[in-house]
Each structure stands twice: as C-alpha cells, then as structure tokens.
Amino acid sequence: MHALFILNGAPYGEERTYNGLRLAGALARKPEHEVRVFLMGDAAVAAKNGQKVPAGYYNLQIMLNKVARPGPGRVGVCGTCMEARGMAEAELAEGAHKSTLDELAQWTEWADKVMVF
C-alpha cells in the first residue's frame, strides 16, 4: 500500500503532527507499505534540524528520520510554508527536502490512501 500523510499542525504544543508521525512510522516499518509525509503550515517546523526537547519528551526530528530512512524523497516540506517561517533548506533534517504543491499533487495521485492530520 502507498500511504501519504499530510501534516498541518504545530510540531509541539498539540498532538496532531505527533500522532500522524506515530502512524506513519508504524506503517513505514512494514515492508509491504511505502510511506511519504508532506509537512505544511506549522508542521513545516517539525523538519527543522537540531531540535532539542526536554528529557522524556518526544522529538519529531527523530520520528521523521524513521519515516525517511527507507529512502530519499519520502519527507517533503512545503517551500512556501518554510519561507513564511524563515526556514532555509539547509536547516532541514536529514531525509527531508524542500518541496512544492506540484510534488504534493503527484504524491496524492501515487497514494492509495491519503491521511490528513
């Protein structure tokens, strides 16, 4: 199955992005599933490299790495959303890339299931 996760929520302070990545990670661990994640709006910040969170708190950068690990191009970050938040492509975590709505449209056509958080 091909699954696309579109995440919109803030990386911390609410749990939509966290829960979306939990499910994406669970599916990505299964060899019969191919998973892609697209970060939009406030979720774009979840792909920022060098996140330091309090001990015992979840780290979305680590969670994204688990989804991206199977291969390149699996985590896209909305370029317009990055620019609105002052993020440069060099600040993205390993495995994430600056993306576009055109790529999101392609991924949507590719996917068997699209989940939005």
pLDDT reported for residue 5: 98
Q: Are 21 and 43 in contact, with CB atoms under 8 Å apart?
A: no
pTM for the full predicted model: 0.93
Give, for 26, the enclosing helix (H) or strand (E).
helix 16-28
Sorted by where each begins, the domain ranges of the chain are: 2-116
Per CATH, is 2-116 categorized as 3.40.1260.10? yes
pLDDT of res. 71:
60
Question: HSE on the CB side for 71, CA within 13 Å?
Answer: 7
* pLDDT tens digit at each of 117 positions of the chain: 999 999 999 999 899 999 999 999 999 989 899 999 999 999 999 999 999 988 888 989 889 988 887 665 599 999 999 999 999 999 999 899 999 999 999 999 999 999 999
